[in-house]
Chains A and B, each alone.
Chain A
């Protein structure tokens, strides 16, 4: 994996290398080597036994590519927000 940045549907996705030396100093070396950010906000993720990635907040979609996963999460989050808005509007009417 390499540091990477992409813009996707008005969102900014970044894979940023962590300061491993700093992590070791603070004994949190189990943290992933790369930090995933969407719009500068950290997105927590982990790796399943086969090496594929999942997000803490979007845990049931698994891929081998973190940037692709971030894009899927953005799509999912937008869809879920729309659904919630529709439900709320329906309740108000």
Chain B
């Protein structure tokens, strides 16, 4: 079970491994493929719809699986832009971490362009009681603002071309997971035709929001869930459940905390 954590808590080894994997995915064209895919579907229901959160959860999971081909212990770290909101932050933006990609990949960042959301705004959003009131506010402004604040590629349709995209969306996914755990059993609400719980996600017709509601079933947890990780370890020891298999074998389990159905991880296949 992979644990996604704040980038600040990465060890030197984890940070270096993540950076090397990003460079590898760029060199093999995978990052550009993800950027192109996002741009292609941008106006087709992956934004400003009830599929926004599930589509990006699936995308992030697939990207993480690509990273894990480079090293199986990699998980995507997250960037909490309500806390790390300084463009001069030496840890995040310097050339030992994500700063190096700006010139290397010609990302044209303009850090500090526009506003970021506050922790208070996130707290307010976390208290929304229905999915239909939660996701629109999480998407805009909470999700939108950091795209513009970073600027350049991050502000355009092909934003996954900037590695900051994955850390930002990991945070958004974490906020969804946190909200789900705080609101067990709250139903998914469709925002329109073909955007329901069992409607296929763009790009992956065999995947639906129902497949990704339970992030534990997808093989990862977040660091804020630390106490339950011990429970997961015990669960694994008792049942033999080993989590997501990166070579594509589906794995599944039922998570009563999330009050939802079992999920399955996607399988990725790539020609070597």
Taking Cβ atoms with an 8 Å cutoff, the residues of A that contact B are 46-50, 52, 54, 56-62, 76, 79-81, 83-84, 87
B side interface size, CB within 8 A = 28
Residues of chain B within 8 A of A61, CB atoms compared: 144, 148
A76 x B148 contact (CB < 8 A): yes
B32-71 near A? 1/0 per residue, CB < 8 Å = 0000000100110101110000000000000000000000
Residues of chain B within 8 A of A46, CB atoms compared: 42-43
Given known contacts A62-B140, A83-B111, A57 and B49 CB-to-CB distance under 8 angstroms: no
Q: Is B147 an interface residue (CB 8 A)?
A: yes
B110 x A83 contact (CB < 8 A): yes
Taking Cβ atoms with an 8 Å cutoff, the residues of B that contact A are 39, 42-43, 45, 47-49, 108, 110-114, 140, 143-145, 147-148, 151-152, 155-157, 159, 191-192, 195
Question: In the complex, how many residue pairs between chain A and chain B have their CB atoms under 8 Å apart?
Answer: 69
Residues of chain A within 8 A of B140, CB atoms compared: 60, 62
Would you call the interface of chain B mostly helix, strand, loop, or mixed? loop
A60 x B144 contact (CB < 8 A): yes
Given known contacts A49-B195, A59-B42, A76-B114, A83 and B47 CB-to-CB distance under 8 angstroms: no
Residues of chain A within 8 A of B114, CB atoms compared: 76, 79
**27 contacting pairs across A/B (C-beta < 8 A):** A46-B43, A47-B43, A48-B48, A48-B49, A49-B47, A49-B48, A49-B191, A50-B49, A54-B47, A56-B156, A56-B157, A57-B156, A59-B147, A59-B155, A60-B145, A61-B144, A62-B140, A62-B144, A76-B113, A76-B148, A76-B155, A79-B113, A80-B113, A83-B110, A83-B112, A84-B110, A87-B111
